[in-house]
Amino acid sequence: MSATASRTIEHVTIECCQGDITRQPDMDAVVNAANAELMPGGGVAGAIHRAAGRGLAEECRPQAPIRPGEAVITGGHDLPNRHIIHCLGPIYGVDRPEADLLARCYHNALSLAEANALTRIAFPAISAGAFGYPLEPAAEVALSSVRQFGGDDMRTFQNLRHIRFVLFSAADRDAFSAALHRLAG
């Protein structure tokens, strides 16, 4: 079992671990790396819809389509989490400026979590699979977006206390951990 990296900045713990986003029972919400139609697909979206059951697609349908950078929230259905937050990341090299659009995904997901008084949220590496975003810059954007959202003393985090990045491979986990260490020292 590989190591999990964890840092606490003020009152917020940020963690990078290897695992499956559909198996995070201690989180209030998990984030879906969605498609614009909010329908099942490959990767994270496929795994989340499979685990959540058909009720998820029913709840998603009226909220679609969404645009790159946007996020919407639904119930967790058959997942062990109360909520799923669906983000549409940028397709690398197509949706520009990609770093801004990716940062907006994280910002909008965190805003929705705060608005719903969630304390624990888990993210996958949005855009880093089928959408082709290179992993290291994707990790940099992900971690710096969390830090920027927090602002001075992380005071924007009124409810969230635990933010977990769940990476599929050990190599991806290590890239996110390195970005976390650069951010938090």
- Which residues bind to ligand AR6, rule: CB under 6 A? 20-22, 33, 35, 41-45, 47, 89, 124-131, 166, 168, 172
Least distance between ligand AR6 and beta carbon 115 (Å): 23
| Cis before 97 (ω within 30) | yes
| Cis before 65 (ω within 30) | yes
* CA 94/CA 70 separation, integer angstroms: 16
Least distance between ligand AR6 and beta carbon 120 (Å): 16
107 secondary structure, DSSP code? H
* CA 90/CA 142 separation, integer angstroms: 13
Q: Within a 10 A sphere around the Cβ of 100, how many other Cβ atoms?
A: 14
Vertex 53 angle, CA 113 and 71, to 5°: 30
Q: Which is nearer to ligand AR6, 140 or 172 (CB)?
A: 172
Q: Which is nearer to ligand AR6, 120 or 154 (CB)?
A: 120
Q: Which is nearer to ligand AR6, 44 or 143 (CB)?
A: 44
Least distance between ligand AR6 and beta carbon 166 (Å): 5
Q: Which is nearer to ligand AR6, 131 or 157 (CB)?
A: 131
Least distance between ligand AR6 and beta carbon 111 (Å): 19
Q: Which is nearer to ligand AR6, 87 or 160 (CB)?
A: 87
**CB neighbour list of residue 148: distance below 8 Å, 6 or more residues apart:** 103, 107
Least distance between ligand AR6 and beta carbon 51 (Å): 9
* CA 75/CA 55 separation, integer angstroms: 9
* CA 39/CA 98 separation, integer angstroms: 22
